[in-house]
Chain A
Amino acid sequence: KQEVTQIPAALSVPEGENLVLNCSFTDSAIYNLQWFRQDPGKGLTSLLLIQSSQREQTSGRLNASLDKSSGRSTLYIAASQPGDSATYLCAALGGKLIFGQGTELSVKP
């Protein structure tokens, strides 16, 4: 049974820092991995989708990597801003979407 874990559960950083959010999954037989952003009480916004054949994807200040063999994905946020404050969720897709519990990020001005 696929399990997805995100570390840390919460993170607080000063504005301008580069940061890494971690996601690990137990079953490497995934088709893709998707990173989402969720603002409090709001919906999920897709940030990046990494296909199983890819190693990374980039969008603006965001870069996501995928290492299937080790069961890990990371989301790198460059030059963080207060507007980046949100909960970040990773989800592994291998037949169905399995979510991690999320990392709550706070970027202080």
Chain B
Amino acid sequence: EAQVTQNPRYLITVTGKKLTVTCSQNMNHEYMSWYRQDPGLGLRQIYYSMNVEVTDKGDVPEGYKVSRKEKRNFPLILESPSPNQTSLYFCASSFNTNNYGYTFGSGTRLTVV
């Protein structure tokens, strides 16, 4: 089944403890992206990657890192999480940025205390 898989689905952590949210797609998509969703603010792009070893900042990149060493994987790294990073996170992928639809993962609900 074609899908984007995120792990974990739920995560509670403490301020300052480094964490990684994994994202993997099995559709050979070149483009991958991370979003966060917050009440009243909607979905906002954190980082995106046009292809392997190519990443760039989205609208809200502060406090996050990403890497794209393989085409299928695009992990989101929070080096020192803070409570304002408590949110619902989504990974998405597409063949390219403009001509194809996006497939989203099931989401990771992160709580930082």
Contacts and interface: CB of A to CB of B under 8 A. Distances in A.
Nearest to A99: B43
Contacts of A49: 100-101
B101 A31 contact: no
Interface residues of A, number: 23
Given A43-B90, A96-B48, A102 B101 contact: no
A100 B44 CA distance: 10
B51 to A, nearest CB: 15
B101 A46 contact: yes
A43 B43 CA distance: 12
Interface residues of B, number: 21
A97 B105 contact: no
A42 interface: yes
Nearest to B41: A101
A76 interface: no
Contact of A95 (B42, B43, B98, B105): B98
A32 interface: yes
Given A44-B104, A96-B48, A32 B43 contact: no
Contacts of B97: 93, 95-96
Interface string A71-99: 00000000000000000010101111101
Interface of B: 33, 42-43, 45, 48, 58, 88, 90, 92, 97-107, 109
